[in-house]
Structure 1
Amino acid sequence: MMIDLSRAPARSKGPYYLTSVNGEVLARRFFDKSFAEMIDCADSIAADGQPLVVASKIFSQAPLPERVATTDLYPIVARMAQETGASFYLFGASEEVNRATYENTLGVAPRLNIVGRSHGYLKGAALDAKIEEINTLAPDILWLAMGVPLEQQFVRDYAHRLKNVKMIKTSGGLFDFIAGTKKRAPQWMQDTGLEWAFRLSLEPKRLLKRYLTTNPVAAFLLLTQTQ
């Protein structure tokens, strides 16, 4: 789908908005109406969490076929894009992580056209200038790695100024994984919905409070509101 969109003209009203949902996003959406609106207006919402897939297979008449983890999706799209000529812009994370993501991406897809990149710590005039730069460079796919909810807020506030960009894909912590600064869980933990436990073991101080407050809410929503 992303490659097909990259072949079509840019949309007059602005880029397509592609995002993902996991347990944290479900919980945030439940408690925050404004955040729910930022999620619900997306053109495509993928399930980036195995519990969503499992719940859909148990409760839904139209179960999700599989999880679409952005970290798995990214190298696939990169390899396809280098064959079709679709272009990337990498926006987000620190300068060190962003640079490493750029370099490692070219290691996977050496002929990929990455028209630009930037760390995500920009404000005011610097951010305004960067928005103009991205629009001028007109990438087919803007990979936006700022984390929730900053990347959704970015789409809300700036997508209308990026009319030459064909699509924005929110990417969470994607660049950390591509850069190699964070490890992914073993495949069996990903497949059984336990990737959160692996991440918690690596970053307990940062993630414990989040998971204690969001995982029970997400589980309740999956059990009671899956259709």
Structure 2
Amino acid sequence: MKDIPVITVGGLPIAIETCDEAARTMIDHAVAARGKMEPPLYVTSANGQVLSSCASNPEIRELFLKADIIHADGGPLVQASRYLTKCPLPERVATTDLVHDTARMAAAEKVTFYFLGATQDGIEKAVANMKQLYPDLDFVGYRNGYVAEDEEAGLIEEINKVAPDILWIGMGVPREQQFVVRNRERLTGVGVIKTSGGLFDFLSGKNKRAPDWMQKASLEWAFRICQEPKRLFWRYLTTNPHAIWLLLTRTR
């Protein structure tokens, strides 16, 4: 993998890449990894919730520090870097944007995808919608995210058999990171793993993105609360103040 500069934002090492550059990094690594039978590149993302969780729980922090690349999937991380560092992050690398940048390149360069996560109905709709947007994009497989640990060996065998260049895993933090760390050494048929959080709910149409002005103002979290108040209100109420403190005190 090429050397990617990083800065510390909120206590985590965050890659200095644009969304387009991040997509190119994954595509190039995936192609170069074909046939080598080595553990895949592990790419994940951080937002305010992740910063708070990592600072509060050493085990979760270790899951993220094992990643090869951590992107800033949160506008406040980008803003903090601009005010508090000499090498600011160029932009937010939201997974919901990154998947489209990567898909465009993948469709043109014959790089294959596998989607793992969400419900069966959700993952089927996500794949169908992506195929409609990118007719030349090659999916070698997909599966819902309800995988018991005693089913993982069979799933790993299946994934290695179809050998996706990029495996997108959307199981939520920290379950998806735990899955990667637990199985990375066995996923030798995969070139890149990208953890994806709730990506498939957006691709399936279950959830909607915030308006552009809210995204630019780093207020997408507020829009998501309106969509899922029961699930997200308490989370953001408790993690946002902690994340702000971390951004102010652990960014350099």
Shorter chain as denominator, the TM-score bin is over 0.9
Partner residue, 1:8: 32
Partner residue, 1:179: 204
Unaligned runs of 5+ in 2: 1-24
State the 1:27 CA deviation: 0.2
2:230 matches 1:205: yes
Q: Deviations over 1:44-88 (max 9, x none)?
A: 110000000000000011100000000011111111101111000
State the 1:124 CA deviation: 4.0
Partner residue, 2:91: 66
Q: Deviations over 1:160-187 (max 9, x none)?
A: 1101101100000000001100011111
Partner residue, 1:222: 247
Q: Deviations over 1:91-116 (max 9, x none)?
A: 00000110001100101111111000
How far, CA to CA, are the matches of 2:180 and 2:152 in structure 1? Answer: 13
Alignment of 1:1-227 (within 5 A): 1-10=25-34, 12-227=37-252
State the 1:126 CA deviation: 3.0
Query: Is the CA contact 2:64–2:177 (under 8 Å) kept in the aligned structure 1?
Result: yes
Query: Is the CA contact 1:17–1:43 (under 8 Å) kept in the aligned structure 2?
Result: yes
Stretches of 4+ aligned residues off by more than 6 angstroms: none
Please report the TM-score for the alignment, with normalisation by the length of structure 1: 0.97
State the 1:212 CA deviation: 1.3
Q: CA RMSD in A?
A: 1.1
State the 1:3 CA deviation: 1.2
Please report the TM-score for the alignment, with normalisation by the length of structure 2: 0.88
Q: Deviations over 1:120-175 (max 9, x none)?
A: 10214433211110011110000001110100000111111101101100000000
State the 1:202 CA deviation: 1.5
SS in 2 for 1:120: coil
